[in-house]
Chains A and B, each alone.
Chain A
């Protein structure tokens, strides 16, 4: 079993739709959680950190469920520009260095 698992999709949704992705992690000692966005053939860029209390940034909402060991990303009112691969990243600390484990990504395509 992979340490971080995501549904690869693809998720094909119309503009304006609400879409949600889940990501499960196996290491209960994980300490930090993120969503990164990666456009085709580009580098990943930080989308959101995920806090225990949940957090929202505009149309994006991230949640953490430590008991069930998953994080989620909700995108409301999808835009064409939201089409990308979304990477779930789970981290822990090793003598001050970040060690992050990446999921394989969920691909989202928003269609007109």
Chain B
């Protein structure tokens, strides 16, 4: 079945450490996105990518980095510069073009806790 796989599902990090969250999709979608969700809040866009080797900052990119070397993969690194990284991280993908660019398919999420 086609879908998005995120790993790890749960991750604990010490302050000052960088961590990388994996996101892989086999939906053949061109666009991929990373969102952050805090308790009781909606999703906020961190980074997005429309095409391989290209990505743009979202609304809260500070302290995060991404790469898009393959169409299927869009890993997110949470760096030590991110002041409050404890959150639920969701990866999503969509087709491009107006017909479906806003219809998002999500992975199951990665829950990061900083100790």
Contact = CB atoms under 8 A, between A and B. Distances in A.
A97 interface: yes
A98 B104 contact: yes
Interface of A: 4, 8, 31-32, 34, 36, 41-46, 49, 87, 89, 91-93, 95-105
Question: Could you tell me the dominant secondary structure of chain A's interface residues?
Answer: strand
A89 B60 CA distance: 18
B43 A98 contact: no
A32 B108 contact: no
Contact of B40 (A32, A45, A92, A104): A104
A42 B88 CA distance: 10
A83 to B, nearest CB: 16
Interface of B: 31, 35, 40-45, 48, 50, 56, 88, 90, 94, 96-98, 101-109, 111
Contacts of B104: 36, 44, 46, 89, 98, 100
Nearest to B40: A104
Contacts of B111: 41
A87 B31 CA distance: 21
B94 A98 contact: yes
Nearest to B96: A96
A101 B40 CA distance: 15
Contacts of A41: 88, 111
B42 A34 contact: no
Given A43-B90, A43-B109, A97 B40 contact: no
A81 B106 CA distance: 21
Given A95-B50, A96-B50, A43 B106 contact: yes
B42 A93 contact: no
A44 B25 CA distance: 16
A41 to B, nearest CB: 8
Nearest to B107: A43
A92 B24 CA distance: 25
Contacts of B42: 4, 87, 101-105
